């Protein structure tokens, strides 16, 4: 064995060549496989030279596992990989899309729709750095973030994962990539994968391309567009991501003019790798190649053939590694997939692993364990919540603003399904794939907690999840804060064609706002139908999906900080206007993109 590839002083291309010249076809194809931790053992990692592991949404070592337990799990698998013939380290990936969201006690930041409303790319970069530290606190060096979708229809179940409908805002927010991966050193070449050491992680720009442009926002569906629109709306964030050294790109489940992206050689190879000269590796989505056919997996040989030949380098298999390896090996041996395609994929995968120092530091760094959910990160998340809030209405005129609210009042009411529900305020992709309600999923501060802490000690607070009218009338409340919105959802479960506030929330708005001065705080992944209720609402705040630091809402409601958020999305009047985006000729919004009232400091 020529061990020169293990010498970090060798030029990267030498290391890649020396290693690849010694790799068997099985070992090369093994590197192209990513499997979920549930389907893995250290022996499988060793015997098949598996390139990567992942945690799918909610795939955790055990409920409420500690950072140490995560590290031990990752290290266990890594030890298996390192004991293989060539000792190539595996790379462990996970969805850290609003903080390290699968992990108990991690800091959960506002989802991207709220970050877009901050218009603060430095904040988003700092969030990237914090997220990298929390991922490394669990021994994980690779995250499937950022989602740089340009969501063009809020009926899409993943619209909250998109920073904005405006590609320029999404381009601006790609600053999260140097936050996650580190800044490319001044004398280093741009546009090549870069990860700056073991407090940083490899990132993943997703989902390539046009995921946010599907017909009626139907998840995984078809994006009908022309080259001009594609290159001006959905592609621009990839330009910035590649320049900033993003290490990986994930392919979208969706189709482009009827061609599945996972089978799209023109876009994945000719454009992304050719025209844009992307040098990292392209990864599929979960069973993304299986979904090339309908029903999925109907012709796996065809799936592997077209997915790999389209230019996918690593396949998120993610459960049956032998089927993938056997199928691809057979396709290569029978000259359906050229060895040059395999070598391109492996060269890219090894390039990321070498450039990020994975060969030198394959094991978790236990010194970072305290970064998980640190107070500094929670303070950062609280700042992000403050800056993400958008004030849509503040009294009937500017002379009588409702906000900021007085901290000192005789008796106030905090009401609504989302007022005291940590799971609801975090939304999907939190602890589990879909997210769920309740206050025992993880650790944080609800909006109600924040209000309780913020008001003057002499102020009496009543809390009711869904008060009836008599209750409201029989108390002499100075004012009420009504917090309502959407339940958590992810992906197709979030596709929604009516975009109405759930009935319980509408009832609470009616019962409360019809009888006392009320501030409605809407917790949702997107604009919802609000116009019919606006006249009964004294003040209206879009809080999006704030995450675990709900006290950031109170910070702004009571004037400790002023409102600065600007909506990153068009707020429609009715859903039959959709899709309706800034620039459209029929642009007739209730609140235009960029709308956001400000308040006076107290
Ligand atoms: O979690 C890994 C990736 C994630 O990075 C992608 O953004 C997302 O499209 C996705 N959907 C599934 C997934 C979907 C249905 C069933 C099981 C898993 C898995 N994943």
pLDDT in tens, 528-577: 999 999 999 999 999 999 999 999 999 999 999 999 999 999 999 999 99
Whole-number Cα distances in Å, 403 to 60, 398, 541, 590 = 42, 10, 10, 21
Q: Write down the catalytic residue from 134, 491, 495, 538.
A: 491
Q: Which residue has the tokens 């290290």?
A: 75
**How far is Cα 135 from Cα 363, in angstroms, rounded to an integer?**
13
pTM over 0.95: yes
Residue 239 pLDDT: 98
Residue 556 pLDDT: 98
**Cis ω on the peptide bond leading into residue 185 (within 30° of 0)?**
no
**How far is Cα 89 from Cα 52, in angstroms, rounded to an integer?**
9
Query: Which of the 8 DSSP states describes residue 256?
Result: E
Residue 282 pLDDT: 99
Angle at 544 between CA 539 and CA 549, to 5 degrees: 100
**How far is Cα 124 from Cα 238, in angstroms, rounded to an integer?**
17
Residue 65 pLDDT: 98
CB atoms within 10 A of CB 69: 16
Low-confidence ranges of the chain (pLDDT < 70): none
Residue 602 pLDDT: 87
Q: Whose CA is nearest to atom 19 of ligand 1?
A: 286
440 is catalytic: no
Residue 1 pLDDT: 85
97 C-alpha to center of ligand 1: Å?
Answer: 12
Question: b/e map of 502-539 (b: 16 or more CB within 10 Å)?
Answer: eeebebbbebbbebbbbbbbbbbbbbbbbeebeeebbb
253 C-alpha to center of ligand 1: Å?
Answer: 10
Whole-number Cα distances in Å, 454 to 382, 405, 545 = 14, 11, 21
3-state secondary structure of 278: coil
Tokens of 158: 């993943």
**How far is Cα 308 from Cα 132, in angstroms, rounded to an integer?**
30
Segment holding 248, helix H or strand E: strand 248-251
Q: By C-alpha distance, which of 432, 590, 423 is closest to 523? A: 423
Residue 511 pLDDT: 98
588 is catalytic: no
111 C-alpha to center of ligand 1: Å?
Answer: 17
Residue 405 pLDDT: 98
Which tens digits make up the pLDDT trace of 567-583?
Answer: 999 999 999 999 999 99
**How far is Cα 523 from Cα 116, in angstroms, rounded to an integer?**
15
3-state secondary structure of 36: strand
Pocket test for ligand 1, best of 147, 202, 285 (most atoms within 8 A of CB): 285
364 C-alpha to center of ligand 1: Å?
Answer: 25
**How far is Cα 599 from Cα 287, in angstroms, rounded to an integer?**
48
Provide the CB-side half-sphere exposure for 317 (13 A, CA): 27
Residues flanking ligand 1, CB < 6 Å: 56-57, 95, 144, 206, 285-286, 491
**How far is Cα 528 from Cα 310, in angstroms, rounded to an integer?**
38
């Amino acid at each position: 064995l020529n061990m020169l590839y293990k010498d970090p002083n060798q030029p990267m291309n030498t290391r890649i060549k020396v290693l690849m010249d010694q790799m068997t076809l099985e070992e090369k194809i093994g590197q192209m496989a990513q499997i979920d931790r549930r389907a893995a053992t250290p022996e499988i990692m060793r015997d098949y030279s598996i390139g990567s592991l992942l945690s799918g949404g909610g795939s955790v070592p055990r409920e409420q596992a500690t950072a140490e337990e995560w590290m031990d799990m990752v290290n266990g698998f890594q030890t298996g990989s390192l004991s293989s013939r060539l000792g190539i380290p595996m790379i462990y990936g996970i969805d850290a899309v609003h903080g390290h969201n699968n992990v108990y006690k991690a800091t959960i930041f506002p989802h991207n729709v709220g970050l877009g409303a901050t218009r603060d790319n430095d904040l988003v970069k700092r969030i990237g750095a914090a997220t990298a530290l929390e991922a490394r606190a669990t021994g994980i060096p690779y995250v499937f973030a950022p989602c740089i979708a340009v969501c063009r229809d809020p009926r899409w179940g993943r619209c909250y994962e998109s920073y904005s409908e405006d590609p320029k805002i999404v381009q601006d927010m790609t600053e999260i990539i140097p936050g996650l991966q580190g800044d490319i050193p001044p004398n280093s070449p741009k546009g090549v994968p870069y990860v700056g050491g073991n407090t940083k992680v490899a990132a993943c720009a997703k989902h390539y391309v046009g995921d946010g442009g599907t017909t009626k926002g139907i998840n995984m569906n078809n994006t009908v567009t022309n080259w001009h629109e594609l290159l001006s709306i959905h592609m621009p964030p990839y330009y910035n991501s590649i320049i900033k050294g993003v290490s990986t790109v994930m392919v979208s489940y969706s189709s482009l003019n009827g061609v599945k992206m996972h089978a799209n050689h023109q876009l994945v190879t000719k454009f992304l790798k050719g025209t844009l000269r992307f040098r990292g590796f392209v990864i599929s989505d979960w069973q993304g190649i299986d979904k090339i056919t309908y029903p999925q997996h109907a012709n796996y040989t065809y799936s592997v053939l077209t997915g790999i030949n389209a230019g996918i380098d690593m396949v998120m298999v993610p459960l049956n590694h032998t089927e993938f390896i056997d199928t691809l090996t057979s396709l290569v041996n029978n000259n359906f997939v050229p060895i040059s395609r395999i070598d391109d994929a492996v060269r890219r995968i090894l390039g990321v692993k070498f450039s990020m120092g994975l060969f030198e530091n394959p094991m978790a760094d236990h010194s970072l364990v305290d970064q998980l959910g640190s107070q500094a990160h929670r303070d950062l998340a609280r700042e992000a919540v403050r800056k993400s809030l958008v004030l849509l209405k503040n009294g009937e005129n500017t002379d009588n603003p409702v906000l900021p609210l007085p901290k000192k009042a005789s008796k106030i009411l905090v009401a609504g399904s989302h007022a005291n529900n940590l799971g609801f305020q975090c939304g999907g992709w939190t602890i589990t794939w879909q997210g769920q309600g309740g206050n025992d999923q993880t650790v944080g501060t609800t909006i109600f907690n924040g209000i309780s802490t913020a008001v003057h000690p002499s102020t009496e607070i009543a809390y009711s999840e869904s008060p009836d009218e008599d209750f409201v009338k029989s108390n002499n409340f100075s004012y009420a804060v009504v917090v309502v919105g959407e339940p958590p959802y992810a992906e197709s479960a979030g596709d929604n064609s009516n975009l109405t506030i759930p009935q319980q929330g509408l009832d609470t708005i009616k019962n409360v706002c019809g009888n006392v001065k009320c501030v409605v705080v809407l917790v949702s992944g997107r604009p919802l139908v609000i116009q019919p209720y606006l006249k009964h609402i004294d003040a209206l705040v879009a809080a999006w999906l704030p995450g675990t630091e709900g006290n950031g809402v109170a910070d702004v409601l009571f004037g400790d900080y002023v409102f600065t958020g600007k909506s990153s999305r068009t707020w429609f009047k009715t859903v039959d206007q959709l899709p309706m985006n800034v620039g459209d000729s029929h642009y007739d919004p209730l609140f235009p993109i960029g709308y956001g009232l400000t308040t006076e400091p107290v």
